[in-house]
Amino acid sequence: MSGGHLAGKAIVVTGAGQGLGAAYARLAAAEGANVIVNDVDENHALSVARSIRADGGRAETAIGSVADWATAGAIVRSCIEAFGTIDGLVNNAGIFRLAHPSEQDPDEFRAVLEVNVLGTAYCGLHAIRAMLERGTGSIVNVTSGSHAGSAAMGAYGASKGAVASLTYCWAADLAGTGVRVNAVSPNAHTRMADTYEAYLGAAAQGQNVHKPPAQNAPAIVYLLSDASTSLHGQVVRIDGDELSMIAHPTVQGPGTRNPAWTVSSVAAAFGAGEVGPLSPVGLHRAPVE
C-alpha cells in the first residue's frame, strides 16, 4: 500500500480494537499509513492489526489505557519505534455511561472523565511534543454532539465538551508551528447506540440506524492528510451522508449595557428581551440560511 492519501505516514489510533476506531485504523492503512492499533483489549487490537496486514497494510499494536500518563507515552513511543516517527494521532478511545443526575454513580462519572478527557489530553500531549520537534503533524480528537446537551449523558457530554475546548485551546497554542489539531463529531450505529437505546427505550429507538462506522472514516483520513493543511481548530461533523461543521462557542450579541448592573436591572434587561436570543435546551441545529 505505497499509494494513498496517507502514503508513508505513521499514525496512532486509540481505542481501535472495534467500532469507529477499527474503521479509522483500517482506512488509514488502506490509504498507505503505517498504523499503531491501540486498545485496552489485546485480542481486539491484535485482530484489527491482523486484518490490516492481511489486506496488505502495515500495523502494530500498543495495548493499554490512555488514561495513564506513562501508558499514553508508551503508545506514542511505540509508533516512533516501529515506524521512525509519528505523523498523526486519532484520539478515539472513550467510554460511555448513562445516568440521570439523581442516580449518577460518582466512580463511573470519574472513569468517563479519566478516559475521555485525560486519555485524550495525555496522548495528545505526548504526540504534540514529538511532532513539534519535526514541525509537522496532525491530531484528530473525537468529540460528540452530546456536549450540547443530551438526556442521561452528563458525564459523557461533559467529557466531550472538554475535548472540544481542548481542541480549540491546543489549536491556539500551536498556530504557525506546523502541528494541526482538529476534532470530529461522528455518528454510527455502534455498541454505544445500542446501549443508548436500551437505556432510554422507545425515546431512542433507531439510534444511528444505517450509519456504519466506516462511513465516518474518510473525514478522519482527510484531517490526517496533507490535503487538509488549511484546517486547524475545527470540529467536523459526520452524520450518515451529511458532512457539516460544528460552530465554536460564541457570545450571543449584541447584548445591552449598564454601567452599574443590579439584580433588578438584569431582570429588566431579560424581561425586555434585550439579552439573547436564548438557546434551546439540548441538542439542536442552527437554521440553514
Other CB atoms within a 10 A radius of the CB of residue 247 amount to: 8
Instruction: Please give the Cα distance from 239 to 222 (Å, whole number).
Output: 16
Q: Is 258 left (phi over 0), alpha (psi -120 to 50) or beta?
A: beta
Pinpoint the alpha helices (H) of 115-232.
119-134, 154-174, 191-200, 217-224
Q: Which helix (H) or strand (E) holds 110?
A: helix 106-113
Q: Could you tell me if 86 and 79 are in contact, meaning their C-beta atoms sit under 8 angstroms apart?
A: yes
Active site residue 156: yes
Instruction: Please give the Cα distance from 164 to 249 (Å, whole number).
Output: 10
Q: Is 275 left (phi over 0), alpha (psi -120 to 50) or beta?
A: beta
Residue of 24, 122, 156, 196 marked active site: 156
Half-sphere exposure of 65 (CA within 13 A, CB side): 11
Q: Could you tell me if 123 and 112 are in contact, meaning their C-beta atoms sit under 8 angstroms apart?
A: no
Other CB atoms within a 10 A radius of the CB of residue 53 amount to: 13
* Residue 48 CA: distances (Å) to CA of 32, 34, 203, 289: 16, 13, 34, 43
CA Rg value for the chain: 20
* Those residues with Cβ within 8 angstroms of residue 47's Cβ, 6 or more apart along the chain or in another chain: 17
Catalytic positions are 156
